[in-house]
Structures are given as structure tokens and as C-alpha cells.
């Protein structure tokens, strides 16, 4: 077979793949089976055991064969400008991912895979109907090489280009991480409810104790969410390579994510209420992606924006922001706030509302109890929408929405003065047009310059 | 800046949608509202008393719906500018969308059963942003197809990456 330039021959995944993918399932079946067998043991002897054992053994055997067949029929290659993955025994499936549309390439290693020295390469691509490629599993040595190759081709470089060296930018302190995560509303509210429940149980033991039981499940849920978040973002470090950022994080499951510069659609800088005394902030990025992963292994990962900095002091966050979006200033200038009559339309969030724009970015600050500032590069604007409801018309206000290709948020300039919103709409249309046509001031060039 | 020269949404400068859209809408309204009126008249005849008030009530309601629908029809407008398409709509909730040609990913032309009877079609623009809601209903089929082809060709010429 003639491999096109930059391409490779068909390759299989690592032979231990079935073990990692279906090992958990087999383990679960075994866990159900063994106690069942124990309980079905009767004094009359082993013969009654024969059929249940046969059934369970057959099930496990079928599962194993299925896993092995699924591995055997899966193959992948880099074909010209595409990554192609073929899988499926009965229903053949061939996925073709254009490398030019790659938004990010991640390496994910769940615990079992880490023990066996394996890792998964996950390709996130853009566009409606965009496909996500999963190469699960490759060896831990091969995965970074495949990633480097995919990224090099995605940037239009030669396939043999080595991965650029990464410079550490920021490492998030684990103590601060756990403190920061615990001080968020979805942890503290259940705790507060718990305290109320305990107090009421002491005052009125009868109904109070009953309430305590139901509250306990909420608290346990919050605890699990906290542990999961900590597990995800443990040992978080951000490195900068020439072509993008590299994020390494995770306690049990290690993730190595790449975010190419220029593929970032928007960033959001946010501060939960209780972080304010400490001056901590959180930075998230939005990349273009349309579909959440179909299986549940990446819970919320497809829905949530990527965390760029889970928790850090303002100066650190601003520093990372400056690497991603050079010259982005997030201090609102005078006149960024909406007129005072917007208080009537948005009483809860008025104190945080602000929107402004410069030559390269548009900024919008919103929030009720936690403030969040969204920064969108003008060159990434997809469309603009000016909205005005009846109440807004009465107050001569209007909202301007800035749409991006990201999944999560665009910038929304809420409740501006009518005439000003109108002016913003045309100004931004014009500036976005210029930004699209101007050669983008490369973040790479800024990255090479000394910090 | 040259803010003075920047355009504003002047409803008069936008192209309206086909009057046939309003005819189609009125036919649908008549089909929905006339049984209601019939029922009101029947009730008033069978039980003549206060029920007679149902007839003016239904008439007033119909007139109200009719005028709101007319306002909504009149609010639709679009303009093909040099670099982008503007769509304006809404009576109570007004919206103006600006979609640059270079951002369009694909364009749908759809026609529901009522649209087909009246020879109408809807043109919908899609960008990489899911929130983009530029939709122009009530175009004559031929106009819709021409608009689509024009948009597709300028879109291709100005396409920019993500």
C-alpha cells in the first residue's frame, strides 16, 4: 500500500486494549457472580452450581470475545490530510477527521491504563457533524508521538516535526485548589443545609431526624462532586509550547491536554463570591466543539468549558490570560457600565454588568453573586444579535449578543442604552470584519518573545 | 471615529418578505379562528342569554390576533450588504442579527406544507455558532433559491477558518 506523504500504514491499537476497556465490566460481572454463587451453594452438593456457573462463564466469555473482536477490527491511519479510524464488526464504521479542523488533541490515561502503561489519544475537531476521534489505547510512549504528529499536520507542518519544547507557565498549588474548590456554592450550600438540618434535629428530634436522612444524601453528593473535581484538577500545571498550551492534570486519571493558540474562541475569567477576600480567580477557555462524547466516560467534559486555571491569584491568572490573548485588558474603562435604569431590568446582576471593546477583543462582564468576564477576540465573532424585549423597549435598553463557535458562552452585553447598543452592533460588525481580514497577530510570535 | 457614517437599522431600508406570506398566514388564521366563531354563534343561538357576549369576545380576540400577526409579518426584513446579511424581526421581542458572509457554514431552504401550498420557502443561515438564528421565512420559492445561491457563492468567496 502506498502511504501518501505524511501518512502512515494501517495500525492497530495496543493488544491490551480489551483488558482496559472491558476489564471493569468483567470485574463488575465477577463481583455480582461470586456472592450469588456463594448464596446458591446448597448442602446437597455441587451439581446445582453447575448451571449458574455455566451461564456466568458464558457471559464473561462472550464479553471477552466481543472485546477482542472489537479490538481486532479497529484500525487507524493518517491518510493524507485526514485521520481515519475504522471500527465495528457487524456495523463497519469509518471515521474521517480532517486534520485542519483539529481543535485539540488530548492524552488521557485512566488508572487501569496507567498501571499497564497505556494511554488514549483523543482528537477534538470542529464543525457541525464534527467527529471526535478516540485512539484507545496506545502505549504511553507512542501516544505523545502520535499527538505530535497530528498537531504538526494540523498546523500544516511536516509530519516529522517534533513536538515543540514546553515552558512551564504555572503550577497550581494543591492546597489552594482544595480550599478554592470547597469554597464554591455547590459545596457550601449543602453544608449549610446540613447545619440547618442538624439544628432542627436537635430542636425537634422527630421530624428533624427524618429530614437529616434526606439531607445526608445531598451532602454525600456534594462531597463526591468535590472529590471528583479535586481528582480532575490535582497537580494542575500549564506549560506553553510554541503552538499552544499544554495542560497536565489529574490524580487517578492523568490528562495531558493541548489547546492550540488561535483555536480558542473565548475565555472566561470568573470569581466565586467567597474567593473575593483571597483574591482568587478562575480562568476557562472555550474551543469550538459541537458534540459531547457519546459514552459517559468523560462526564461533563464535553459540556463544560476547559479549565485553564482552576484557582490562582489574580496576577497569575492575568499572566496566563496575557499568554493566550496578548494585550487583553480586563479592567472596564469608564462608560462600560450600562445606564442606571438597567437596574430595573436586571436588579440582581446590575452591579456586575459591563461591556466594552478594543481593537482586538470584546469584553462582557455579567454575574449575580459571582462575577464573570467573557473575552472574545473580534476575529472569532460568528454573528451578532441585537435583542430588545418589551420591558427593555420601555426602558430604552437593548442587549447585544456576540456569538462564537464555542459551546458554552458568547459575550453578552446586557441592557445597554438603545442607541449605544445599536452603535456597538455596527462598530463591532466593522471591527470584526477588519479583524477577520487582517493577518492575525500571531500568539506564537508573542510566545517566542521573552516574557 | 466615523460613527456618524455608521448605518442604523432603518426598517424602511430592509427588504420585506413576500406579501404572499401574509396571505398564507391569514388563511391559516381563518381556518383556526372560524370554527371558534362558529362555536360561539351556535352557543348563542342554542342558549340565548349572556352567552351572546361570546360572539363579540371571539371577534375582538380574532382582531387582536390578526393585528399582532400583521405586525409580526411587517417586522420581518432583511438586507444583503457588502459583507454581511442583516435579518430583522419581531414585534414585541425585536431582534436584529448580523451574519458575515465569511462565517456561513451552510444554508437551508425549507418549505412546510402550508409554505408549499403557497409556493413559499424559508431560508436559514447556519454558522459555527449554535446561537446564530438568522432565518428569513416567507420568500417566494424562486427568490429563496436565488438568495441561497447568491449567499453560497459570496460565502465561499469569503470563507474564513475558525
Closest chain A CA to residue B7 = A426
Q: Which domain holds residue A108?
A: 11-154
Tell me, yes or no, if A396 comes closer than 8 A to chain B by beta carbon.
Answer: no
- Give percent of chain A above pLDDT 90: 21
Tally of domains within chain A: 3
Place of cell 461533563: A300
Confidence of residue A126 (pLDDT cuts 50, 70, 90): low
Query: CA-to-CA distance for A17 and A2, rounded, in angstroms?
Result: 28
In the sheet that holds A254-260, the strands lie side by side as A133-139, A118-125, A102-109, A254-260, A244-249, A237-241, A167-171
Selecting from B6, B93, B99 the residue whose C-beta is nearest the C-beta of A426 gives B6
Query: CA-to-CA distance for A244 and B114, rounded, in angstroms?
Result: 51
Contacts 24+ apart (CB under 8 A), A247-256: A247/A306, A247/A307, A247/A308, A252/A110, A252/A111, A253/A108, A253/A109, A253/A110, A253/A111, A253/A114, A254/A108, A254/A109, A254/A114, A255/A106, A255/A107, A255/A108, A255/A109, A256/A106, A256/A107, A256/A108, A256/A144, A256/A147
A391 and A288 in a single domain? The answer is yes
pLDDT at B17 exceeding the cut of 90: yes
Q: Spell out which residues of chain B touch residue A422, defining contact as CB-CB under 8 Å.
A: 8-9
Query: CA-to-CA distance for A445 and A160, rounded, in angstroms?
Result: 22
Q: Spell out which residues of chain A touch residue B9, defining contact as CB-CB under 8 Å.
A: 386, 422
Selecting from B1, B131, B162 the residue whose C-beta is nearest the C-beta of A126 gives B162
A178 and A273 in a single domain? The answer is no
Give the pLDDT of residue A150: 87
Q: Spell out which residues of chain A touch residue B133, defining contact as CB-CB under 8 Å.
A: 385
- Residue A49 in any domain: the answer is yes
Confidence of residue A51 (pLDDT cuts 50, 70, 90): confident
Provide mean pLDDT across the span A262-283.
90
- Residue A252 in any domain: the answer is no
Contact (Cβ atoms closer than 8 angstroms) between residue A283 and residue A268? yes
pLDDT at B26 exceeding the cut of 90: yes
pLDDT at A271 exceeding the cut of 50: yes
Contact A128 B106 (CB under 8 A): yes
pLDDT tens for each residue of A178-223: 899 888 877 888 888 888 888 888 887 777 777 777 788 888 888 8
Looking at the complex, report in whole angstroms how far the Cα of residue B132 sits from the nearest Cα belonging to chain A.
6
Q: Spell out which residues of chain B touch residue A404, defining contact as CB-CB under 8 Å.
A: 129
Looking at the complex, report in whole angstroms how far the Cα of residue A65 sits from the nearest Cα belonging to chain B.
41
Tell me, yes or no, if A384 comes closer than 8 A to chain B by beta carbon.
Answer: yes
- Residue A115 in any domain: the answer is yes
Q: Which residues partner with A237 through β-bridges?
A: A171, A248
What SS3 state is found at A330?
coil
Confidence of residue A47 (pLDDT cuts 50, 70, 90): low
Provide mean pLDDT across the span A83-87.
86
Closest chain B CA to residue A418 = B8
Confidence of residue B3 (pLDDT cuts 50, 70, 90): very low
State the alpha helices, DSSP H only, in A155-237: 174-182, 185-203, 205-233
A134 and A186 in a single domain? The answer is no
Q: Which of B129, B133, B151, B159 to probe by mutation at the A interface, max A CB count within 10 Å? A: B129
A138 and A217 in a single domain? The answer is no
Tell me, yes or no, if A206 comes closer than 8 A to chain B by beta carbon.
Answer: no
- Residue A259 in any domain: the answer is no
Looking at the complex, report in whole angstroms how far the Cα of residue B49 sits from the nearest Cα belonging to chain A.
39
Contact A128 B126 (CB under 8 A): yes
Query: Of A215, A233, A251, which closes a domain?
Result: A233
- Give percent of chain A above pLDDT 70: 85
Of A79, A125, A76, A118, nearest to A104 by C-alpha is: A125
Provide mean pLDDT across the span B48-67.
88
Contact A436 B131 (CB under 8 A): no
A145 and A181 in a single domain? The answer is no
Provide mean pLDDT across the span B46-74.
89
Looking at the complex, report in whole angstroms how far the Cα of residue A192 sits from the nearest Cα belonging to chain B.
37
A379 and A418 in a single domain? The answer is yes
Q: Which of B10, B79, B96 to probe by mutation at the A interface, max A CB count within 10 Å? A: B96
Query: Of A121, A154, A187, which closes a domain?
Result: A154
Least confident of A148-152, A339-343, A422-426, B98-102: A148-152
Query: Looking at per-residue confidence, does A159 or A451 come out higher?
Result: A159
Provide mean pLDDT across the span A374-390.
92
Q: What CATH number does residue A93 fall under?
A: 2.30.29
Contact B84 A429 (CB under 8 A): yes
Task: Count Cβ atoms below 10 Å from residue B86 Cβ, excluding itself.
Answer: 23
Give the pLDDT of residue A135: 87
- Residue A185 in any domain: the answer is yes
Of B131, B93, B125, nearest to B109 by C-alpha is: B125
- Residue A160 in any domain: the answer is no
Query: Looking at per-residue confidence, does A35 or A310 come out higher?
Result: A310
Chain A and chain B share a number of CB contacts under 8 A equal to 98
A188 and A333 in a single domain? The answer is no
Selecting from A126, A288, A410 the residue whose C-beta is nearest the C-beta of B131 gives A410
Please give the ipTM for the structure prediction. 0.85
State the alpha helices, DSSP H only, in chain B: 19-46, 54-75, 113-118, 141-158
Closest chain B CA to residue A421 = B8
Q: Spell out which residues of chain B touch residue A429, defining contact as CB-CB under 8 Å.
A: 84, 98, 100
Query: Of A192, A217, A233, which closes a domain?
Result: A233
Query: CA-to-CA distance for A269 and A331, rounded, in angstroms?
Result: 12
A292 and A439 in a single domain? The answer is yes
A298 and A212 in a single domain? The answer is no
Contact A288 B92 (CB under 8 A): no
Selecting from B95, B126, B162 the residue whose C-beta is nearest the C-beta of A385 gives B95
Tell me, yes or no, if A382 comes closer than 8 A to chain B by beta carbon.
Answer: yes
Tell me, yes or no, if A385 comes closer than 8 A to chain B by beta carbon.
Answer: yes
- Residue A391 in any domain: the answer is yes
Question: How confident is the prediction for chain B on average, in pLDDT?
Answer: 86
A327 and A400 in a single domain? The answer is yes
Confidence of residue B131 (pLDDT cuts 50, 70, 90): confident
Give the pLDDT of residue B162: 61
pLDDT at A254 exceeding the cut of 80: yes
Selecting from A288, A383, A405 the residue whose C-beta is nearest the C-beta of B98 gives A383
pLDDT at A46 exceeding the cut of 80: no
State the alpha helices, DSSP H only, in A41-98: 47-72
- Residue A68 in any domain: the answer is yes
Looking at the complex, report in whole angstroms how far the Cα of residue B34 sits from the nearest Cα belonging to chain A.
30
A328 and A404 in a single domain? The answer is yes
Tell me, yes or no, if A417 comes closer than 8 A to chain B by beta carbon.
Answer: no
pLDDT tens for each residue of B135-152: 999 999 999 999 999 998
**Residues from B in contact with A at Cβ < 8 Å:** 1, 3, 6-9, 83-84, 92-100, 102-103, 105-106, 126-134, 160-162
Q: What is the CA radius of gyration of chain A?
A: 26
Confidence of residue A84 (pLDDT cuts 50, 70, 90): confident
The reported pTM is 0.79
pLDDT at A125 exceeding the cut of 80: no
Place of cell 446586557: A414
pLDDT at A391 exceeding the cut of 90: yes
CB proximity list for A204: less than 8 A, separation 6 or greater: none
Contact B84 A127 (CB under 8 A): no
Closest chain B CA to residue A385 = B97
Query: Looking at per-residue confidence, does B31 or A166 come out higher?
Result: B31
Of A184, A168, A171, nearest to A313 by C-alpha is: A171
Amino acid at each position: 500500500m502506498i502511504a501518501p506523504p505524511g501518512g502512515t500504514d494501517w495500525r492497530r491499537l495496543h493488544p491490551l486494549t480489551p483488558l482496559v476497556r472491558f476489564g471493569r465490566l468483567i470485574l463488575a460481572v465477577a463481583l455480582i457472580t461470586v456472592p450469588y454463587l456463594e448464596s446458591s451453594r446448597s448442602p446437597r452438593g455441587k451439581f446445582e452450581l453447575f448451571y449458574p456457573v455455566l451461564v456466568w462463564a458464558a457471559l464473561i466469555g462472550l464479553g471477552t470475545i466481543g472485546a477482542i473482536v472489537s479490538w481486532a477490527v479497529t484500525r487507524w491511519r493518517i491518510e493524507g490530510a485526514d485521520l481515519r479510524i475504522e471500527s465495528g464488526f457487524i456495523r463497519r464504521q469509518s471515521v474521517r477527521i480532517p486534520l485542519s479542523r483539529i481543535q485539540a488533541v488530548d492524552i488521557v490515561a485512566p488508572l487501569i491504563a496507567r498501571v499497564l502503561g497505556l494511554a488514549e489519544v483523543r482528537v477534538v475537531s470542529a464543525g457541525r457533524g464534527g467527529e471526535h476521534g478516540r485512539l484507545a489505547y496506545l502505549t504511553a510512549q507512542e501516544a505523545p508521538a502520535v499527538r505530535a504528529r497530528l498537531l504538526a499536520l494540523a498546523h500544516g507542518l511536516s509530519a516529522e516535526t517534533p513536538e515543540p519544547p514546553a515552558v512551564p507557565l504555572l503550577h497550581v498549588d494543591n492546597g489552594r485548589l482544595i480550599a478554592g474548590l470547597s469554597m464554591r456554592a455547590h459545596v457550601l450550600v449543602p453544608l449549610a443545609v446540613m447545619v440547618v438540618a442538624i439544628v432542627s434535629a436537635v430542636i425537634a428530634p422527630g421530624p428533624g431526624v427524618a429530614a437529616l436522612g434526606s439531607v445526608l444524601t445531598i451532602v454525600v453528593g456534594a462531597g463526591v462532586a468535590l472529590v471528583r473535581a479535586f481528582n480532575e484538577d490535582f497537580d494542575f500545571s500549564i506549560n506553553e509550547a510554541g503552538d499552544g498550551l499544554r495542560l497536565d492534570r489529574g490524580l487517578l486519571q492523568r490528562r495531558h491536554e493541548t489547546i492550540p493558540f488561535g483555536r480558542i474562541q473565548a475565555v472566561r475569567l470568573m470569581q466565586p463570591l467567597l474567593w473575593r477576600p483571597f483574591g482568587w480567580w478562575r480562568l476557562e477557555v472555550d474551543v469550538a466543539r459541537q458534540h459531547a462524547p457519546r459514552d459517559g466516560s468523560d462526564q461533563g467534559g464535553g459540556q463544560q468549558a476547559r479549565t485553564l486555571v482552576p484557582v490562582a491569584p489574580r496576577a497569575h491568572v492575568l499572566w496566563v490570560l496575557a499568554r493566550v490573548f496578548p494585550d487583553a485588558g480586563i479592567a472596564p474603562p469608564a462608560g462600560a457600565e450600562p445606564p442606571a435604569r438597567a437596574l430595573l431590568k436586571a436588579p440582581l446582576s446590575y452591579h456586575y454588568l459591563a461591556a466594552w471593546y478594543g481593537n482586538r477583543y470584546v469584553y462582557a462582564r455579567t454575574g449575580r453573586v459571582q462575577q464573570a468576564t467573557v473575552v472574545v477576540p473580534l476575529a472569532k465573532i460568528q454573528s451578532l444579535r441585537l435583542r430588545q424585549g418589551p420591558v427593555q423597549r420601555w426602558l430604552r435598553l437593548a442587549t447585544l449578543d456576540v456569538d462564537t463557535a464555542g459551546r458554552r458562552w458568547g459575550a453578552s452585553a446586557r441592557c445597554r442604552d438603545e442607541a449605544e447598543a445599536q452603535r456597538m452592533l455596527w462598530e463591532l460588525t466593522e471591527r470584526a470584519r477588519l479583524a477577520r481580514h487582517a493577518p492575525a497577530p500571531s500568539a506564537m510570535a508573542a510566545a517566542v518573545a521573552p516574557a | 471615529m466615523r460613527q456618524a457614517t455608521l448605518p442604523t437599522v432603518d426598517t424602511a431600508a430592509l427588504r420585506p418578505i413576500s406579501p404572499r406570506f401574509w396571505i398564507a398566514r391569514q388563511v391559516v388564521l381563518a381556518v383556526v379562528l372560524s370554527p371558534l366563531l362558529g362555536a360561539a354563534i351556535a352557543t348563542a343561538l342554542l342558549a340565548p342569554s349572556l352567552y351572546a357576549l361570546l360572539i363579540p369576545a371571539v371577534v375582538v380576540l380574532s382582531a387582536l390576533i390578526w393585528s399582532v400577526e400583521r405586525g409580526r409579518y411587517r417586522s420581518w426584513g432583511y438586507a444583503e450588504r457588502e459583507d454581511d446579511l442583516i435579518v430583522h424581526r419581531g414585534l414585541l421581542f425585536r431582534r436584529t442579527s448580523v451574519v458575515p458572509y465569511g462565517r456561513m457554514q451552510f444554508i437551508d431552504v425549507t418549505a412546510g406544507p402550508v409554505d408549499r401550498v403557497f409556493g413559499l420557502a424559508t431560508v436559514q443561515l447556519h454558522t459555527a455558532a449554535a446561537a446564530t438564528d438568522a432565518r428569513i421565512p416567507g420568500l417566494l420559492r424562486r427568490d429563496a433559491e436565488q438568495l441561497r445561491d447568491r449567499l453560497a457563492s459570496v460565502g465561499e468567496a469569503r470563507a474564513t477558518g475558525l
